[in-house]
C-alpha cells in the first residue's frame, strides 16, 4: 500500500477515535462529535444531531396514561403537518403568608388612632382627653384627676398582664395610675404619687401605696417614656417600670382593694393622672396560662 494511503487511513482512524471521545465527553453515550446513531425509523440506523434528538425527546415525551396538553391556537406545526407537542403549564405554587398569624392571647387595646372603647372619666374638674396626631392618648391638667377607662369587656380577671408606655409632660404628681382587676377586686399601680416620687400598689390590707410593703421611691423625668408592665396571676401581683421590678406581692391571705375616693371611677380598667399632663400609648393586654 502506498505511503500516502497508509497516512490517510491512519488519520481517519485518529479522527474516529477523537470524535467518539468528544461525543462521549459531551453526552455520556456513544456517537461521533455532535452526531449519534438514530434507530427510531426502525430500519437502517442513521446519524442525527444529538442536541436535536435530546430536545425532541424532552418536548414530545408524555408519561404513561396521560394525554399531552392541548396545543393553544396558533401553535407551531411539526414537520409532518401535525401540531407540535406543547409542555404542560407549571403547577401554581401557593404563596406563603408574609406575616405570622395573630397571637390569640394578645389584645391591642389602643390603636393609636381613636379612643375606641376608652372614654374620659367624669371625675369632676377633669382636663381634656384626646388622641394626638403622633398616636398617643393625652390627658391634660385637671382640678384633681384626668383619665380614661375601658368600657368594653375584659378578657380575664386573673392570669394576664398589661403593658403600656407612659410619660409626664408637665406637673408634679403621678402621671400614671393604672387600675386593673385582681380576681374579684381591683388595685392601682401608682407611678409618681405623693409629690412625684412614690411607686406602689393601692391598696394592700387597706393600706395605700405610701404605707404598705409595695412602696418604692423613684425619680421620673419629664418628656421621657417609661414602659409599665403589670402582671396578675392567681398567686402573685407583680409590676415593673422599664426592666426594674417594683412590686412582687404574694396574694395568699392578702386583701386587695382600691383606695376609697375618685380612683374607684377607673374600674374595671383605667389610666389616670393627678394635676399632671401625660400621654399613654402601646396599651396591650395579654392572657397568661393559669398558675398551678
Count other C-beta atoms under 10 Å from residue 197's C-beta. 16
Rounded Cα–Cα distance for residues 112 and 190 (Å): 23
Q: Is residue 83 part of a domain?
A: no
Closest by alpha carbon to 282, among 70, 109, 118?
109
Mean pLDDT of the chain: 84
> Which domain CATH number covers 165?
2.60.120.560
Same domain, yes or no: 132 and 274:
yes
How confident is the model at residue 52, as a pLDDT? Answer: 52
How confident is the model at residue 268, as a pLDDT? Answer: 97
Q: Which region among 7-16, 67-76, 230-239 has the lowest average model confidence (pLDDT)? A: 67-76
Counted domains in the chain: 2
Same domain, yes or no: 170 and 267:
yes
Q: Is residue 194 part of a domain?
A: yes
Distance between first and last Cα of the chain: 106
Q: Taking a C-beta distance cutoff of 8 angstroms, is the pair 84, 74 a contact?
A: no
pTM of model > 0.75: no
Same domain, yes or no: 33 and 124:
no
Cell 382600691, residue located: 258
Sign of CA dihedral 273, 192, 263, 109: positive
Instruction: Taking each helix axis as running N to C, give the angle between helix 3-27 and helix 50-60, from 0 to 180 degrees, rounded to the nearest 10.
Output: 30
Q: Which region among 51-65, 124-138, 141-155, 193-207 has the lowest average model confidence (pLDDT)? A: 51-65
Cell 414602659, residue located: 227
Q: Is residue 76 part of a domain?
A: no
Q: Is residue 65 part of a domain?
A: no
Q: Is residue 110 part of a domain?
A: yes
Domain ranges, residue 122: 106-287
* C-alpha cell recorded at residue 85: 407537542
Rounded Cα–Cα distance for residues 128 and 138 (Å): 8
DSSP 8-state code for residue 181 = E
- For residues 40-54, give the mean pLDDT: 56
Rounded Cα–Cα distance for residues 202 and 208 (Å): 4
Q: Is residue 64 part of a domain?
A: no
Domain boundary among 37, 57, 77: 57
Same domain, yes or no: 113 and 231:
yes
**Strand-pair partners of 139:** 129, 278
- For residues 60-79, give the mean pLDDT: 51
Same domain, yes or no: 49 and 130:
no
How confident is the model at residue 78, as a pLDDT? Answer: 52
Sign of CA dihedral 71, 85, 55, 87: positive
Q: How confident is the model over 202-230, as pLDDT tens digits?
A: 999 999 999 999 999 999 999 999 999 99
Closest by alpha carbon to 201, among 217, 211, 214, 182?
214
Domain boundary among 57, 72, 93: 57
Rounded Cα–Cα distance for residues 93 and 169 (Å): 53
Q: Is residue 218 part of a domain?
A: yes
Same domain, yes or no: 151 and 230:
yes
Same domain, yes or no: 268 and 202:
yes
Q: Is residue 101 part of a domain?
A: no
Could you tell me what percent of the chain has a pLDDT over 90? 63
Q: How confident is the model over 237-252, as pLDDT tens digits?
A: 999 999 999 999 999 9
Rounded Cα–Cα distance for residues 175 and 41 (Å): 93
Same domain, yes or no: 110 and 225:
yes
Same domain, yes or no: 25 and 166:
no
Same domain, yes or no: 174 and 282:
yes
Cis peptide before 268 (omega within 30 of 0): yes
Same domain, yes or no: 29 and 168:
no
Same domain, yes or no: 148 and 211:
yes
Question: In sequence order, which ranges of the chain are alpha helices (DSSP H)?
Answer: 3-27, 50-60
Beta strands in 77-208 (DSSP E): 106-108, 118-120, 129-132, 136-139, 145-150, 160-171, 176-182, 185-193, 198-202
Sign of CA dihedral 152, 156, 157, 162: negative
How confident is the model at residue 62, as a pLDDT? Answer: 45
Amino acid at each position: 500500500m502506498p505511503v500516502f494511503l497508509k497516512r490517510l487511513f491512519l488519520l481517519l482512524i485518529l479522527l474516529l477515535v477523537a470524535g467518539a471521545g468528544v461525543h462521549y465527553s459531551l453526552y455520556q453515550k456513544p456517537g461521533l462529535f455532535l452526531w449519534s446513531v438514530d434507530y427510531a425509523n426502525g430500519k437502517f440506523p442513521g446519524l442525527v444531531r444529538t442536541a436535536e434528538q435530546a430536545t425532541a425527546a424532552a418536548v414530545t415525551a408524555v408519561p404513561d396514561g396521560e394525554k399531552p396538553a392541548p396545543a393553544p391556537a396558533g401553535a407551531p406545526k411539526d414537520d409532518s403537518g401535525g401540531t407540535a407537542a406543547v409542555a404542560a403549564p407549571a403547577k401554581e405554587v401557593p404563596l406563603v403568608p408574609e406575616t405570622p398569624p395573630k397571637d390569640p392571647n394578645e389584645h391591642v387595646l389602643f390603636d393609636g388612632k381613636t379612643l375606641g372603647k376608652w372614654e374620659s372619666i367624669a371625675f369632676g374638674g377633669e382636663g381634656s382627653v384626646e388622641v394626638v396626631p403622633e398616636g398617643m392618648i393625652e390627658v391634660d391638667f385637671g382640678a384633681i384627676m384626668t383619665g380614661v377607662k375601658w368600657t368594653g369587656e375584659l378578657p380575664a380577671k386573673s392570669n394576664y398582664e398589661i403593658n403600656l408606655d407612659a410619660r409626664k409632660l408637665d406637673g408634679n404628681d403621678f402621671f400614671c395610675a393604672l387600675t386593673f382587676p385582681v380576681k374579684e377586686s381591683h388595685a392601682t399601680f401608682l407611678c409618681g404619687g405623693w409629690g412625684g416620687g412614690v411607686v406602689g400598689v393601692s391598696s394592700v390590707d387597706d393600706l395605700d401605696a405610701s404605707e404598705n410593703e409595695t412602696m418604692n421611691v423613684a425619680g421620673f423625668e419629664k418628656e421621657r417614656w417609661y414602659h409599665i408592665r403589670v402582671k396578675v396571676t392567681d398567686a402573685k401581683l407583680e409590676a415593673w417600670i422599664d426592666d426594674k421590678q417594683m412590686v412582687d406581692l404574694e396574694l395568699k391571705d392578702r386583701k386587695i382593694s382600691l383606695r376609697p375616693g375618685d380612683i374607684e371611677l377607673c374600674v374595671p380598667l383605667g389610666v389616670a393622672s393627678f394635676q399632671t399632663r401625660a400621654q399613654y400609648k402601646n396599651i396591650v393586654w395579654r392572657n397568661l396560662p393559669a398558675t398551678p
